[in-house]
Structure 1
Amino acid sequence: MFHRIRRRAKEPEAQRRFFELSEQMQLQGQVPPEVDRVRADLEHAVPTAAVDDFLPPELRVPSHDQVAGRITSWTQPLVLDGEMVACATCGTYRDWLILSARGQIWLRCRAGHQQHEPRLNTAWYNRHTGPADATHATFEDCLRHLGH
C-alpha cells in the first residue's frame, strides 16, 4: 500500500520532467521517427463507418423514469425500529409485497390490503432488493407474476 502512495507522489515529478524534455525537443526541432510515422498513418487512414452499438429495443431495460414503480416480495416478518410491522386491516405480519412508487414505499399483505410505510424510503428499498427479473405492463400482471 505504501509502495503505491510513494509511486503516486513521484508521478507528478516524472510528468513535469517529461513535459520539459518534450518542450526542449520541439524547440530544437528534434522529433522521434515514430511521431512522423503515426502522423502519416493518421493522414492516410480510411474513416470507418459508425456502428450503432445499442442493444435492440426488445433487449433494452427501461430506465427508472420509464417505470411507474417496482415491487418485491418479502416473506419474513418486517421489523422496523424494533417493532414488527403488521397489516392495519387484517393483522398479518409476514409475506409482504413491498412497492416502491414515486419516492414512497407501500406494503401490501397477501389479502390485498395496502398501507403506506413512512419509515422506509427508496434508498432502503434499493439496498434490500436485487435486480428486476421481469417488467410488466400492468400492476395486475406483476401481482400474478409474484403469486399474489
Structure 2
Amino acid sequence: MRHRHDMMWADLEGRVPPKAEQTQAAAQPSEPVLVVDDFLPPDLRVPSHDQLDGRMMPWTQPIVLDGELVACAGCGAYRDWLIMSTRDQIWLRCRHGHQQPETRLDTAWYNRHAGPADATHATFEDCLRHLGH
C-alpha cells in the first residue's frame, strides 16, 4: 500500500492540472489598475494623541481606588467627575470646578475606560461646555 502511494505521488509530481495556464493568464490584468488614495479627507481625520493637549471623559459614578472612595479635596463631592488625561497624568475635576491629580490612575487605565472621542475642541472651556461642566 505504501509503495502504491509513493508511486502515485511520484506520478503527480511533474503534472500540471488542466486549464491551469488559462486560469493564470485570466488572472493577469489586461489594463493597469488605477491607484486611488484611500486615506480619509482632512475634515474626517481624527487627531492623533500627540496632536492633542489632552483628553477628557465624564464619569458619573463614584470612583473607588484601593478600597477608598475618592472625594474632591475642595468640596467633598464623590461622583459626577470629569476625568482628564494629559501629559501622562490623570486629573479629576468635580462639578464645582475643583481639580486634583489622581496618581493611582494612569493613562493605560484611562485608555481602557474611555470610549471613542465624539468631538475635538480648540479650548479647554469649549470641551467643558460640550461635556456639560
**TM interval, short-chain normalised:** 0.7 to 0.9
SS at match of 1:90: coil
Deviation for aligned residue 1:44: 6.0
- Correspondence list, 1:83-102, <5 A: 83-102=68-87
**Which residue of structure 2 aligns with residue 9 of structure 1?**
none
| Aligned equivalent of 1:141, options 126, 129, 132 | 126
**Which residue of structure 1 aligns with residue 17 of structure 2?**
32
**Which residue of structure 2 aligns with residue 62 of structure 1?**
47
SS at match of 1:126: helix
SS at match of 2:39: coil
| Aligned equivalent of 1:105, options 63, 85, 90 | 90
| Aligned equivalent of 1:120, options 105, 113, 124 | 105
* Aligned mates of 2:65, 2:48 — CA distance in 1: 30
Deviation for aligned residue 1:42: 5.0
* Aligned mates of 1:44, 1:82 — CA distance in 2: 65
Query: Are the structure 2 counterparts of residues 78 and 44 from structure 1 closer, same or farther at C-alpha, using a change threshold of 3 Å?
Result: closer
SS at match of 2:121: coil
TM-score, normalization by structure 1: 0.73
Query: Are the structure 2 counterparts of residues 34 and 136 from structure 1 closer, same or farther at C-alpha, using a change threshold of 3 Å?
Result: farther
The answer for unaligned runs of 5 or more in structure 1 is 1-19
SS at match of 1:99: strand
| Aligned equivalent of 2:117, options 128, 132, 135 | 132
- How many aligned residue pairs are there? 124
**Which residue of structure 2 aligns with residue 74 of structure 1?**
59
* Aligned mates of 1:38, 1:65 — CA distance in 2: 49
Q: Give the number of the structure whose residues are more often helix, by fraction.
A: 1
The answer for unaligned runs of 5 or more in structure 2 is 1-8
Q: Calculate the aligned-residue CA RMSD, in Å.
A: 2.1
